[in-house]
Amino acid sequence: MDEAWYDDEAGPIVRPYTITRGRTPTRSTRLDTASQVLTVEPRPETPRLELTPEHRWILDACARPVSLAELAVLLGQPVGVVRVLCGDLLDHGAVFVRSPRTEVSRDILEQVYRGLCRL
């Protein structure tokens, strides 16, 4: 992050609600902390997004898949802020997000159980 936006005594000068423009994560965009975010090549027909420094930082950091939680740590912002920013990028087709499976099949649970029993 740019050192001009940090004060050793006060902490970050730009507060989280300023970065997200007061927005919170939407229910339509489900981003788990384990979701992997990857930058994609923009398409010409994709609407232009006004990129903030934080948006640009996320795009640069996601040249390889990075979890939402890892992005929050690297950016030094709460997960909710990173969730909003990644939602913006996802809505504009600038990133690809792969979320973990939310349901586990009985077969997988039985395989894990058998493996644990062998230990």
Average confidence (pLDDT) over 75-94: 85
Q: Is 0.75 surpassed by the pTM of this model?
A: no
pLDDT at 105 over 70: yes
pLDDT at 67 over 90: yes
- What pLDDT is recorded for position 65? 92
DSSP the chain: --GGGEETTTEESS-HHHHTTT----SSS---TT-EEEE-PPPTTSPP----HHHHHHHHHTTS-EEHHHHHHHHTS-HHHHHHHHHHHHHTTSEEEEPPPS---HHHHHHHHHHHHH-
Top pLDDT among 2 and 54 is at 54
Domain ranges in the chain are: 16-100
Average confidence (pLDDT) over 44-68: 81
Give, in words, the CATH class of 16-100.
mainly alpha
